[in-house]
Every structure is written in C-alpha cells, then in structure tokens.
C-alpha cells in the first residue's frame, strides 16, 4: 500500500511538471476581414499583445479569411494590404533596366499604424471579424 | 545417418534481435542529427566572429563602420552603386581578389555593383551551414539589361541591424547601426557595443515562382541585407518588401507599402537565431526573448540597459 501511494505521489509530480511546461496557452484565431463590405483579397493581419510580453503574431489574409495562433490576452490588431500602382521608379541603368514597382496601401492608417482595432483572445473567444471602411 | 544436432534460431528470437537493433538505431539517429546541427551552429557562430572582426577591421582602417546600403530606397541618387555593407568588408574576410574585381568593374561600369563579374562567388563566411537554401545564386528575375537576363549573385544569410522600427521611407536615419549612407563610429554606439546587436541571420528563400530579394548583396536597394528588431526572432509576422518575394515555411514575406518594410531575424537553428553584438561576441537569441529587450538590443543610442 505504501508503495502504491509512493507511486501516486511520484506520478503527481510528473503531472505537475508536464502542466508547468505548458506555458501560456495559445489559441487558433480566425475570422473574416472585409473592406467596404467586400472580402479583402490579399493582405496581412497582426495580433499584437498589448502587454508586450510576447511578440506579435502575424497571418496572411486570403479571400477575406485569416487564421493564426495567438496567446490569450488583449490584442491590438493591425491590417495591411497593398495594390500595385502600375508605376515603376526610373532606373539609372537606362531604358530596359529593371525599374522598381511602386505599391500603395489600400487600408487607412486607423487600421494599422494608428490602429483602433482590438481583440480579446481567450477560451471561447477565437473568432474575430473586422469590417473596414476605406473612407 | 543425418543427425540434426545443429540448433538454429527461432523466428521469435530473430525478430527480437532485429527489434532491439532497430530501437538502438532509432535512439542513435536523432542524436546524429542533433550533433550535425550543433556542428553547423558552431560554424555559423564562427562565421559571425569573422564578420565581427571584419567590421572592426573596417572601422580600424577607415575610422567608421561600412554603410548599410549606398543608395536611398527607390531613387536614383548618384553615384548609383546598388551595393551594401558586404562589398567594403570583402578585403577583411580574405576576399581581397573579389573586392578588386568588384572595384575595377564598378569604376568601369558607372558604379553599378550588379554588373560586376564573379558576384555569384559563394562566400562561405556569409552563408549559414544550417540553412538548406544557403548559398543561393539562382534567381528568377525576368528583367533584362541591354537584352541580357539579369543575374543577381549570391544571397547571404547574414544581415546587419538597422534598428528597432520599420525601415524609414528612404532608408536613412534609423536607430540601429547600419542603414542607408550610415557612417557610424564605435563611439557613436552610445548604448555600448556589447549591448547593441550588429548582425543576425535570415533564411534565404529559393526563387520558385517569384524573385526573392532577401539577402541579395550585389543589387540591394530596399534594405534586403538588413534586419529590424521590431519583431522577435522567427516571428510569424511576414517580412515586408516592396518587390516580389517568395514565402517559405519559417520565412513568410508580404508586399508592403513604404511605411511597413522590414526583414526580421530568422534561422534554421532550433528555437532561435544567432546574433553578433558590436563587441564581436556571439549570442544565441531564443524566439521567446522579451520583445522589448530585443528591440532595445537593436538600437545603438536608445539609452536602454540590457540585463544578461
């Protein structure tokens, strides 16, 4: 009987050890991003923990949908997307030399550089849709 | 008479022996892989030390560190060199011949580093042995100059630290040590060289469907030989560049506009990246480093202190 309880205590230790190693839980977060009620064809989304204890988590937006792993907590969310302007910068190497394409952001700064988007990730809170307006 | 005195092994015995051998091999193989990676990491850290010596050698000779890049992003400011910090340190990593070829060709060709010969020479000191795509010289660029397809040369794994923010619009005046037209002296690193990251590594991406600029040294024009400590090592946030790019596992990339450009430190090592501090010491930086600490390490004059 003593031996049995010893075993029980031992396995208890192991269990606590394993649980301790788990660290901060992270959640699979997903949702839909629209710009002026149209799904954003391609772009990037970032979940930045407000407490800055861990780094931002990034994901790509494809056809409006995104999915990424984020830790629990309050997040500042940034969305970025670009379109090619069709222009290229002139090249010093003369005509025919590679010019550089010029991109411009199609998402207003209030959704990225000065983001107002927020999300609070936690158990049961993993679905966040963002409806963005270009104006 | 035939006497079957000889005793053979039963099937069970054979199977047991084979199973034991299989288990032993199973134990051994991961160990071999680990040792291989450990050796590669040591070599990588040695490369960083060479790089550190080279940067210090450049500083001793010219009184300043090499510029991160010669030209502004997306502009044609003269002289249009399209080179970066790699060319000026070539003589200090025993690539004096390569430097002479570069310098001669550059002077003959209106300065452009892209048109110099031998730029696809693999400089082992600048390639991480752990990166499966290390030593890339192939490019998928469809551009031509005077009817000849452009070849872009070697892509290096090692990149210098531009600071802790997105790249500035023209790439100048960043808070790190290497940026466009930077001429930082050791005394200009007021946080102290042992508290400031000079170099770290990136993963090179093969050009499968698009041209990936990350690590390209002979035609660098948007900080593709730098990194920012804005996000921690091996972040899930994609690198941002204006021009093309090919995402791979562990090194995603997205096209971005001018105010969201940066590369982040990435490696094929387990759990983090190697980084070289300004004093030449090499540290292994875990992915889980506190983001603010990593940012503080990236600045040369932020006034922060770094514990440990």
In the structure, what pLDDT confidence band is assigned to residue B5 with cuts at 50, 70 and 90? low
Give the count of domains, chain B: 1
Lowest mean pLDDT among A30-44, B173-187, B215-229, B294-308: B294-308
Higher pLDDT among residues B47 and A94, named by residue: B47
- Closest CB from B235, B237, B242 relative to A101: B242
- Closest CB from A44, A58, A112 relative to B235: A58
A1 pLDDT more than 60:
no
Q: Does residue B116 fall inside a structural domain?
A: yes
> Per-residue pLDDT tens for A95-117?
455 566 778 899 999 999 999 99
User: Which stretches does DSSP call E strand in B122-257?
Assistant: 144-145, 148-149, 158-163, 197-201, 226-228, 239-241, 253-255
Q: Which of A113, A134, A126 is nearest to A34 (CA)?
A: A134
Q: Is the pTM of this model over 0.90?
A: no
Residues of B in contact with A113 (CB under 8 A): 259
**Across chain B, what does the average pLDDT equal?**
90
Pairwise CA distance, residues B139 & B46, whole Å:
28
What pLDDT score was predicted for residue A20? 44
CB B82 within 8 A of CB B220: yes
User: Taking CB atoms and an 8 Å limit, are A54 and B291 in contact across chains?
Assistant: yes
- Angle B45-B47-B48 from CA coordinates, rounded to 5°: 65
> Per-residue pLDDT tens for B175-229?
999 999 999 999 999 999 999 999 999 999 998 888 898 999 988 888 999 999 9
A119-129: average pLDDT? 93
Q: Does residue B270 fall inside a structural domain?
A: yes
What pLDDT score was predicted for residue A91? 62
CB B247 within 8 A of CB B207: no
Pairwise CA distance, residues B297 & B199, whole Å:
11
> Per-residue pLDDT tens for B93-130?
999 999 999 999 888 877 777 778 888 899 999 999 99
H/E element holding A74? Answer: strand A73-80
A contact test, residue of B260, B262, B272, B287 with most A CBs within 10 A: B260
Residues of A in contact with B288 (CB under 8 A): 54
User: Taking CB atoms and an 8 Å limit, are A102 and B144 in contact across chains?
Assistant: no
CB B212 within 8 A of CB B206: yes
A14 pLDDT more than 50:
no
What pLDDT score was predicted for residue B142? 62
pLDDT above 70 as % of chain B? 94
In the structure, what pLDDT confidence band is assigned to residue B308 with cuts at 50, 70 and 90? low
Pairwise CA distance, residues B112 & B98, whole Å:
15
- Closest CB from A55, A103, A104 relative to B235: A55
Residues of A in contact with B260 (CB under 8 A): 80, 105, 112
What residue segments make up the domains of chain A, in order of their start? 27-91+99-132
CB A123 within 8 A of CB B97: no
Pairwise CA distance, residues B74 & B171, whole Å:
10
Q: Does residue B58 fall inside a structural domain?
A: yes
Beta carbons within 10 angstroms of residue A83's beta carbon: 13
A120-128: average pLDDT? 92
In the structure, what pLDDT confidence band is assigned to residue A16 with cuts at 50, 70 and 90? very low
Distance between A19 CA and the closest CA of chain B, angstroms: 19
Pairwise CA distance, residues B83 & B114, whole Å:
8
Distance between A47 CA and the closest CA of chain B, angstroms: 9
Pairwise CA distance, residues B93 & B276, whole Å:
16
What pLDDT score was predicted for residue B150? 64
Whether omega for the bond prior to residue B79 falls within 30 degrees of 0, making it cis, is yes
Residues of A in contact with B258 (CB under 8 A): 103
What pLDDT score was predicted for residue A118? 94
Q: What are phi and psi of B276, to 5 degrees?
A: -105, 125
Q: For the domain bounded by A27-91+99-132, which CATH number is listed?
A: 2.60.40.10
A15 pLDDT more than 50:
no
Q: Which of B149, B161, B67 is nearest to B114 (CA)?
A: B149
User: Taking CB atoms and an 8 Å limit, are B76 and A113 in contact across chains?
Assistant: no
Reported ipTM: 0.82
> Per-residue pLDDT tens for B115-170?
788 888 999 999 999 999 999 988 876 666 666 666 788 999 999 999 999 999 99
What pLDDT score was predicted for residue A24? 63
Pairwise CA distance, residues B268 & B1, whole Å:
69
Structural domain including B200 reads: 12-298
């Amino acid at each position: 009987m003593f031996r049995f309880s010893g075993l029980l205590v031992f396995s208890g230790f192991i269990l606590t050890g394993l649980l301790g190693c788990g660290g901060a839980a992270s959640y699979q977060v997903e949702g839909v991003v629209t710009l002026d009620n149209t799904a954003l064809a391609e772009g990037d989304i970032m979940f930045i923990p407000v407490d800055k204890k861990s780094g931002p988590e990034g994901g790509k937006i494809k056809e409006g949908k995104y999915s990424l792993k984020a830790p629990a907590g309050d997040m500042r969310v940034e969305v970025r997307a670009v379109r090619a302007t069709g222009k290229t910068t002139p090249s010093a190497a003369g005509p025919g030399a590679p010019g550089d394409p010029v991109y411009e952001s199609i998402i207003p700064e209030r959704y990225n550089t000065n983001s107002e988007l927020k999300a609070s990730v936690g158990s049961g809170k993993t679905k966040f849709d963002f409806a963005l307006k270009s104006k | 008479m035939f006497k079957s005195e000889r005793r053979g092994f039963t099937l069970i015995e054979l199977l047991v022996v084979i199973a034991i051998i299989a288990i032993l091999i199973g134990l051994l193989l991961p160990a071999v892989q680990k040792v291989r990676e450990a050796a590669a990491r040591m070599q990588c850290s040695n490369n960083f030390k060479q790089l550190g010596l080279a940067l210090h050698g450049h500083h001793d000779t010219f009184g300043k560190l090499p510029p991160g890049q010669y030209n502004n992003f997306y502009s044609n400011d003269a002289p249009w060199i399209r080179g970066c910090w790699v060319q000026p340190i070539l003589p200090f990593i025993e690539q004096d011949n390569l430097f002479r070829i570069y310098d001669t060709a550059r002077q003959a060709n209106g300065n452009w580093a892209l048109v110099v010969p031998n730029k696809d020479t693999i400089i082992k000191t600048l390639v991480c042995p752990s990166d499966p795509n290390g030593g890339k010289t192939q490019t998928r660029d469809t551009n031509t100059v005077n009817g000849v397809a452009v070849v872009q040369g070697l892509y290096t794994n090692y990149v210098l630290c531009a600071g802790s923010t997105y790249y500035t619009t023209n790439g100048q005046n960043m808070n790190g040590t290497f940026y466009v037209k930077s001429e930082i002296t050791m005394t200009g690193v007021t946080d102290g060289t042992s508290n400031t990251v000079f170099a770290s590594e990136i993963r090179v991406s093969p050009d499968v469907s698009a041209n990936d600029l990350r690590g390209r040294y002979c035609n660098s024009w948007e900080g593709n030989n730098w990194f920012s400590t804005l996000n921690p090592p091996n972040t899930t946030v994609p690198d941002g560049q204006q021009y093309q790019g090919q995402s791979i596992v562990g090194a995603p990339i997205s096209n971005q506009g001018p105010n969201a450009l940066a590369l982040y430190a990435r490696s094929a090592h387990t759990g983090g990246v190697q980084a070289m501090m300004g004093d030449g010491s090499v540290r292994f930086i875990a992915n889980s480093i506190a983001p603010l600490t990593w940012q503080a390490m990236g600045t040369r004059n932020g006034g922060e202190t770094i514990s440990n």
